[in-house]
A and B are shown apart, each in its own frame.
Chain A
Amino acid sequence: MIKEATRESYGKALAEFAEQYDLYVLDADLSAATKTGIFAKKYPERFVECGIAEGNMMTVAAGMAATGKTVFASTFAMFAAGRAFEQIRNSIGYPHLNVKIGATHAGLSVGEDGATHQCNEDIALMRSIPGMVVINPADPVEARLAVKAAAEHDGPVYLRFGRMAVEQILPDDYKFEIGKGVVLKDGSDVAIVATGLMVAQALKAAEILEQKGINAAVINISSIKPLDKKLILDYSIKCGAIVTSEEHSVIGGLGSAVCEAVSESAPCPVVRHGVNDEFGRSAAALKVLDYYGLNAEGIVEKALLAISLKK
């Protein structure tokens, strides 16, 4: 089992799939951090340094894609989805171009750099763009597969990666498909629907709940858009209570997407676990996550709340 940051898996996957999918990679002076440097070292002629100018980079990527290239453009999530939102919306999303946005350092687990760099809003922003695929991989195995799927997908994709090293939780032969959720543990009392590094915490939470006699299902939703509505509705009916968990604001992210799906078709209590309507702060990544309750215990608390809301 490997342990590495999903940004590391991203950089390695870009290099691995460079020739198979004829990839070009752009970065905005962060290649050492986003790990596109791994690709740049192996394929310098396919790597374009854009300097600290993210808006230009996203639109340059669009221009390259308009000539037929598959382009990955990378920077931190804050400066991709945040600063360059309008470039992504108008120059990539509207013409539905083959640009894949590799956004790293998403969420609170950025750690010491603090609130200005901890992007908890990117899923909400990217999810609102028509035709945009939004993927938040759970571990190194899924991160690699997500890069491959993005390269194969015709159209824009937003890929969300983390800074902090995370344990492999998915099997080596894991199958990833855009638009599909995966049940990692079945259960009938409550469904924990998690994304990104919270999936590992969801599995731990399910163990804690087991000791309390509660049988929780754990569903990995890495493909936040398109969302596997069928799977979510099946578990809404089966469990009658859902907890969503994400390293993102509870406004606009996975929690919102699940609420939208459930409330329109098979309503059940949904309790959102994530970053409440507030900014992050500086400290070591794990300390920050604990401070904001983004851990297994936080999920357990929300799961008990969701169960108590069942009619």
Chain B
Amino acid sequence: MNEADKKMLAQTARNIRRDIIEQVHSAKSGHPGGSLSIADIITYLYFKEMNIDPADPKKADRDRFVLSKGHTCPALYAALAERGYFSTKELSGFRSLDSFLQGHPDMKHTPGVDMSSGSLGQGISAACGMALSAKLDKKDWRVYSVLGDGEIEEGQVWEAFMFASHYKLSNLCVIIDRNGLQIDGKCKDVMSTEPLEDKMKAFGFNTVVINAHDFDEIESAFAKARAEKNKPTAIIANSVKGKGVSFMENQVSWHGTAPNDEQYEQAVSELAEVR
């Protein structure tokens, strides 16, 4: 990746992280930890990878995105706003009565949201349905879905993985945000899903493991997904929950807690610095 692109992506990701903090702070609720961990992946998807048009959000042949870990929608809303689907001013309405930015994604009212999600394990199945639909229509648009590493404890996720593999949904790219934490603690203590790479391979996925915060690795993983013509791809993205805000990093307590005013100031000032 050239330096100009890398710089643009890094700056955009910083803006998205700041937007995440703004939303959760103004709503006094929401899920900052898992939003921050996917910020770089979401940035790459919306600013480099996906074939989309903010001026025509429902364009028939667009690529689709399903945020299966729907509670981390502050990251998605930030990306949509930064990409121009709606004004960044809307972000301050997150989780409030007169806003279209619901606590979990709502495809009916939010420009750019391709699927309502939030009940864990369902988004991935919807993504499978979309990918199958493209295949049935012999269209070449692609479907991307981000799941949490806690979310994959849901049985439905593995039903969907079976389905994706059975129907050779090579147009489906699944990203598993492996930040290692979930509400009740470390995933390995709550309910281990390891060895995840072996499991994904056994389920018939083209499997790639990357650092979720390295744009070169992200770019290379999505290129491998595009090159794969027979299988769905799973990108296991090793991430840091709370990435970018020092006191939130790797802290399970920041899964679903909003920062107070003081914490907000500190987070925003950290994100303003060029790191």
Contact = CB atoms under 8 A, between A and B. Distances in A.
A67 B133 contact: yes
Given A86-B119, A91-B116, A95-B108, A66 B129 contact: yes
B163 A53 contact: yes
A56 B116 contact: no
Nearest to B131: A63
B130 A67 contact: yes
A56 B130 contact: no
Contact of B160 (A56, A66, A96): A56
B125 A63 contact: yes
Contact of B162 (A24, A53, A62, A87): A53
B interface majority secondary structure: helix
Interface stretch (A44-52, A101-109, A134-142, A282-290): A44-52
Interface string B107-147: 11000001111110110011111111110100000000000
Interface string B74-117: 00000000000000000000000000000000111000001111
A44 to B, nearest CB: 12
Interface residues of A, number: 28
Given A60-B125, A91-B116, A67 B107 contact: no
A71 to B, nearest CB: 8
B60 interface: yes
Contacts, number: 99
A291 interface: no
B116 A63 contact: no
A63 B126 contact: yes
A45 to B, nearest CB: 7
Given A53-B159, A66-B130, A90-B116, A95 B125 contact: no
Contacts of A56: 125, 128, 156, 159-160, 162-163
A96 B116 CA distance: 10
B163 A50 contact: yes
A24 B137 CA distance: 12
Interface in A26-73: 45-46, 48, 50-51, 53, 55-56, 58-69
Interface in A83-99: 86-87, 90-91, 94-96
Given A50-B163, A67-B134, A59 B116 contact: no
Given A51-B162, A59-B156, A95-B116, A64 B132 contact: yes
Interface string B48-76: 00000000000010001010000000000
Contacts of B162: 51, 53, 56
Nearest to B115: A66
Given A63-B127, A66-B130, 19 more contacts: A45-B136, A48-B132, A51-B163, A51-B166, A55-B125, A56-B160, A60-B126, A60-B129, A62-B125, A62-B129, A63-B130, A64-B132, A67-B134, A68-B60, A68-B133, A69-B133, A91-B117, A91-B126, A96-B108
A-B complex: 9 closest residue pairs judged by Cβ atoms:
A63-B129, A59-B125, A63-B126, A56-B159, A53-B159, A60-B129, A67-B133, A64-B129, A95-B116
